[in-house]
Structure 1
């Protein structure tokens, strides 16, 4: 019988160099065939995504429905295999993984919390079942008594007490917010390094969303866990994240520190997202920019910017050349032909997005 497969070690970092990011992607791409095997039609769910998540960092991935956010989460969780590109975990490509043991180790390090708290728990079993089963699968060093102690610890860590009573309940005896906390507890039981949280608060009442966001912040502080927080809610992303990445039609169109992106958005789509956030003090209205254009074309898309049909700043180049991410401010990148970089403070000149395009000003 062959020897058990050894887990893939983290890539060694030469002395004097910064350690590799916890997780990174290079040109990550996922296409789905539509209309039959011989139709030649492909839905471009994700195209060329470059993502970096560092240790003890919360990164928010925002965008409208259909932008590719959840597809990226499933690619990182190895639910989907990428069409092309690479995922690097602690500096090593996932494609180098061999054997069930290495796959289990990665999935324990990078678990996923799903959107729907009402279908993520098996209604036929008590709450303890999923946590104990996961511990048995991923934490071989623990005996049964130790597994129960760990289950109690992680349930308390997500703010549910008394833990023993919660573990003895069935899912129907819990509220939606409690079920979602159990989802975080199950992920935490594996001693993860990164949790993929796919719209974890979107199906919960507004009054209890803040509690789940605080759970994420607490786990990052107390358990040294990083998060990829996927959401369409810019307000919650601002509340909890360190960095913000904006997706549109399968492309990452802007990325940077959360406050920098929200204070000075460079891409017209990010500007549109911010203009659509309702102000409770103002009358509800739909701006001309928000109503303009048509849904993105992601089935066999042609070259060019996929936002050009809705963009008030589009120029001829937008229809022929796909823009690439480029630095426009410190640690702030955007994929836009007309967006301009922040002025050099030593040059004494100012520039604004769209000033070279001849178009109208970007929405505030």
Structure 2
């Protein structure tokens, strides 16, 4: 079965320096190959500045790629033409944003945005059908009673309820894939689990795939089917969630896990690695971008950029030190 969405060598660079003819480039995303299948939650994990939010905006067509390709249901997004095709893609692949307090217009009731989206993306529905669909999607994200919720203004809802409304807006479009950019990071820890359960419910009951972007690898373990770890614009490790987090192959993934108080991941990293600066991604030279923080770095790491390669079945890492599967099996 072909992937629902796939990227090939996707890159996005930004000019920096403030000068009209500046040639300095910030490499926010470099040569990323990502796949998302139907009914799957893929977690894109990394610290601030790793490039994961830029990836979401590339997939949402907020940014155009500097290089590479994005295909959705086998069709190259660069071939989309006209308002109708772009509107259909945005209906199939909506985005849920990080800040639940800025994503809703405070002037209108929470029903306004959902009804407006239904009218735009599903014009075949009558006014009565739009109202019934409004109630359905609000109930589907766990807000009850929906008849009461839709009459409230955003200031009358908690942060968690507002974020559920964000998922309801996306669900109203009958999406195939939701891009969720740090959807629980601004919520209290006590209510994050409810949003994660909403995402799992949308996958299991509505058949929606989700790209879950997060810096919290513990929540990725809870909700995702696969994990992709980003660092310095590169994907450094990817694989099924349980096998990747039970046996991380890249030193950066080990560093992320060391911050999680989980007895299943008793990993240690050096103090130097934990405190080192993020990588320089402005006009970066070849080499591993994690090498300054890596306790395992060798000479080749400073000159050759590692690429993702299989290390165990369905599990790949971009590391010169980690042995590939064929070597490990020998």
Tell whether the structures are fold-level matches, with TM greater than 0.5: yes
**TM-score bin, normalised by smaller chain:** over 0.9
Match of 1:53 among 10, 13, 36: 36
TM-score (normalised: structure 1): 0.87
Match of 1:241 among 212, 224, 242: 224
Within 2, Cα distance between the matches of 1:344 and 1:80? Answer: 40
Q: Cα offset for 1:111?
A: 0.3
Aligned: 1:27 with 2:9: yes
Q: Cα offset for 1:40?
A: 1.2
Q: Cα offset for 1:92?
A: 1.0
1:160-189 CA-to-partner distances (Å, cap 9, x unmatched) read 011111111110010000000000000000
Aligned: 1:184 with 2:150: no
Paired residue for 1:141? Answer: 124
1:200-239 CA-to-partner distances (Å, cap 9, x unmatched) read 0000011100000000001111100000000001110000
- Pairwise mapping of residues 226-305 of structure 1 onto structure 2 (< 5 A)? 226-278=209-261, 287-291=270-274, 293-305=276-288
Cα distance change on mapping 1:201 and 1:173 into 2, 3 Å: same
Uncovered stretches (5+) of structure 1, i.e. residues with no partner:
1-18, 348-364
1:90-133 CA-to-partner distances (Å, cap 9, x unmatched) read 11100111110000000000000000000000001110110000
Paired residue for 1:124? Answer: 107
Q: Mean Cα displacement is larger for which, 263-272 or 176-185?
A: 263-272
Q: Whose helix fraction is larger, Structure 1's or Structure 2's?
A: 2
Within 1, Cα distance between the matches of 2:311 and 2:229? Answer: 15
Paired residue for 1:361? Answer: none
Cα distance change on mapping 1:337 and 1:346 into 2, 3 Å: closer
Within 2, Cα distance between the matches of 1:288 and 1:135? Answer: 52
Match of 1:216 among 190, 199, 204: 199
Matched position secondary structure for 1:50: strand
Q: Cα offset for 1:272?
A: 1.2
Within 1, Cα distance between the matches of 2:256 and 2:180? Answer: 21
Uncovered stretches (5+) of structure 2, i.e. residues with no partner:
none
Greater radius of gyration (CA): 1
1:306-363 CA-to-partner distances (Å, cap 9, x unmatched) read 011111111111111111111111000111111113578975xxxxxxxxxxxxxxxx
8 A Cα contact 1:276 1:290, kept in partner: no
8 A Cα contact 2:252 2:290, kept in partner: yes
- Pairwise mapping of residues 87-166 of structure 1 onto structure 2 (< 5 A)? 87-166=70-149
Q: Cα offset for 1:34?
A: 0.7
Matched position secondary structure for 2:47: coil
